[in-house]
Amino acid sequence: MFGTQIVNNEGHLMIGGCDTVDLANEFGTPLYIYDTALIKEKIEEFKAAFSRHKEIDWQIAYASKAFSTLAMVQLIDEAGLALDVVSGGELYTALHAGMPASRIHFHGNNKSDSELRLALDAAVGAIVVDNFYELDRLNQLCAERRQSMDILLRVTPGVEAHTHEFIMTGHDDTKFGFNLDNGMAEQAIRLALESSYLILKGLHCHIGSQIFETEGFAEAIRTIYKYLDRWSAQLGFSPRILNVGGGFGIHYTELDHPLPIADYIDTIVATVREECDNRALPLPAIWVEPGRSLVGEAGTTLYTAGATKEIPGTRTYLSVDGGMADNIRPSLYQADYQAICASRANLPADKILAIAGKCCETGDILIKQAHLPAGCTSGDILAVLSTGAYGYSMASHYNRLPAPAVVFVEDGDASLVVRRETYADIIRLDVPLQVKTHNDN
């Protein structure tokens, strides 16, 4: 939902063939809407990028942490993609949505025994093992059950990529994965190869998020292959799968200039091929785990504007009926967004307003400098764009605000895929104190 906006005769913003003001009236606000045609377009872009490389086996696994609901998983399943889950809850959602377990892989830096058991019961396609504790626990659980499990080892190649730059940190100070430089990864490979139950299929790395350059991916792959010189010679290990994670950048504002997906995939495939050719190693299957690049731009949050506060010469605040409880990203890491006045989308955006959330936190500001029409005020519907990733999935109940509803829109049809929470939902898990009866006698 970025680029040219479609506006109808009433001056209302249209998404997926639906009038956003009508959606706000029908489903209430705050409301998450997803343009599912756009998600499918992004999926096809990934598939087309890989299909050009006939010699490569590949897998696209949607990183469901970006936005996980039954309907979303069903959409991914129908598109034939795989799924990356990072918790028992995401796995449970995936299984309930009917996602074949064989197409699920399970991430996480502190999977509990019960989460590992859930994954083993379901016989997921692979577990991405993050640390020695997990390697040991998983090995023991598999031994107890006499069950084998395909695993990848998450390694940290010392490459950190963010937006337009990547840096070689040499050694990574991160809670995730086995470091390459200090021998952890080699030790993990040795242990995995010794196991009778764990089948070491390959390696995984994830170098960052919102990445707008390709070289960080190439550098991470080259770094891993440098170590593979020794591991293939001494341990006879060469990965059958190389999972390079996600992180492909998207449009949040006009300052973002994402690359075509094919640019990333071409670089990844070319680098893997070159590294393998140089060492006469077999080409691994290449896996990627896009999250935000599949759903980010497809999501829009609708809010109703309420109170205004003008501080002459300083700023005008326009408060909306949601905020950090439904989108923590601006307050958590100063994420930037753009907004449109959906109910006056035909008017020029000639005024700068601060869009404030309704939570009791000074920092609950969704957009510090939103360009909106001068007349945009209380009662208008605001659309914050590109909120599809890590918005709803990071929502909280702060201030006991009920979580918004989520609607999928396509071809003029809107379907509710998550209903709005009610106040009754908010207290449904609370256990009241038992009233003590005092006997004064």
Ligand X SMILES: Cc1ncc(COP(=O)(O)O)c(C=O)c1O
Burial environment of residue 426 by CB neighbours within 10 A (0 to 12, 13 to 18, 19 or more):
middle
Does 17 count as an annotated binding residue? no
289 binds ligand X (CB under 6 A): yes
Comparing CB distances to ligand X, the nearer of 42 and 292 is: 292
Does 146 count as an annotated binding residue? no
Q: Which stretch binds ligand X (CB under 6 A): 165-173, 180-188, 244-252, 276-284?
A: 244-252
Report residue 245 CA to chain centroid gap.
Answer: 11
d(CA 159, CA 179): 11
What are 331's two structure tokens? Answer: 């307050």
Among 158, 216, 239, 245, binds ligand X (CB under 6 A): 245
Longest CA span, the chain: 90
Does 292 count as an annotated binding residue? yes
Query: Closest distance between ligand X and the C-beta of residue 44, in Å?
Result: 17
d(CA 101, CA 146): 19
Does 390 count as an annotated binding residue? yes
Q: Is 431 helix (H, G, I), strand (E, B) or coil?
A: coil
Comparing CB distances to ligand X, the nearer of 27 and 106 is: 106
Does 310 count as an annotated binding residue? no
Q: What is the DSSP string of 4-31?
A: SPEE-TTS-EEETTEEHHHHHHHH-SSE
Q: At what angle do helices 70-78 and 88-96 cross, to 10 degrees?
A: 60
402 binds ligand X (CB under 6 A): no
Comparing CB distances to ligand X, the nearer of 301 and 319 is: 301
| Pattern 191-210, ligand X, x by CB under 6 A | ---------------x--x-
Does 303 count as an annotated binding residue? no
Question: Considering only CA atoms, which of 401, 297, 310, 419 is closest in space to residue 357?
Answer: 401
| Pattern 74-93, ligand X, x by CB under 6 A | ----------x---------
Query: Closest distance between ligand X and the C-beta of residue 54, in Å?
Result: 25
Query: Closest distance between ligand X and the C-beta of residue 79, in Å?
Result: 16
Comparing CB distances to ligand X, the nearer of 66 and 142 is: 66
Give the strands of the sheet with 18-19, arranged side by side: 6-7, 13-15, 18-19
Query: Closest distance between ligand X and the C-beta of residue 295, in Å?
Result: 8
290 binds ligand X (CB under 6 A): yes
- Residues designated as active site: 360
Residues between 356 and 385 with contacts to ligand X, criterion CB under 6 A: none
Query: Closest distance between ligand X and the C-beta of residue 123, in Å?
Result: 21
In this structure, what is the dihedral angle of CA atoms 112, 418, 376, 16, given to the nearest 10 degrees? 110
Among 12, 53, 105, 107, binds ligand X (CB under 6 A): 107
216 binds ligand X (CB under 6 A): no
Comparing CB distances to ligand X, the nearer of 22 and 263 is: 263
Query: Closest distance between ligand X and the C-beta of residue 107, in Å?
Result: 5
Q: Which residues contact 325 (CB under 8 A, 6 or more apart)?
A: 357, 359, 395, 396, 397, 398, 399, 401, 403
Among 42, 105, 111, 292, binds ligand X (CB under 6 A): 292
d(CA 230, CA 110): 29
Q: How far is CA 394 from CA 66, 326, 334, 351, 398, in A?
A: 8, 7, 15, 30, 12
Q: Is 284 helix (H, G, I), strand (E, B) or coil?
A: coil
389 binds ligand X (CB under 6 A): yes
d(CA 83, CA 247): 15
Among 216, 247, 322, 404, binds ligand X (CB under 6 A): 247
Comparing CB distances to ligand X, the nearer of 161 and 341 is: 161
Query: Closest distance between ligand X and the C-beta of residue 347, in Å?
Result: 34
328 binds ligand X (CB under 6 A): no
Buried b (16+ CB within 10 A) or exposed e, 338-362: bbbbbbbbebebebebbbbbbbeee
Does 291 count as an annotated binding residue? yes
63 binds ligand X (CB under 6 A): yes
172 binds ligand X (CB under 6 A): no
Q: What is the DSSP string of 232-263?
A: IIII----SEEE----B---SSTT--PPPHHH
Q: Which residues contact 156 (CB under 8 A, 6 or more apart)?
A: 172, 174, 176, 177, 178, 179, 180, 205
Question: Which residues does the annotation place in the binding site for substrate?
Answer: 292, 329, 333, 361, 390
Question: Which residues does the annotation place in the binding site for pyridoxal 5'-phosphate?
Answer: 247, 289-292, 390
Q: Which parts of this chain interact with ligand X (CB under 6 A)?
A: 63, 66, 84, 107, 206, 209, 245-248, 289-293, 389
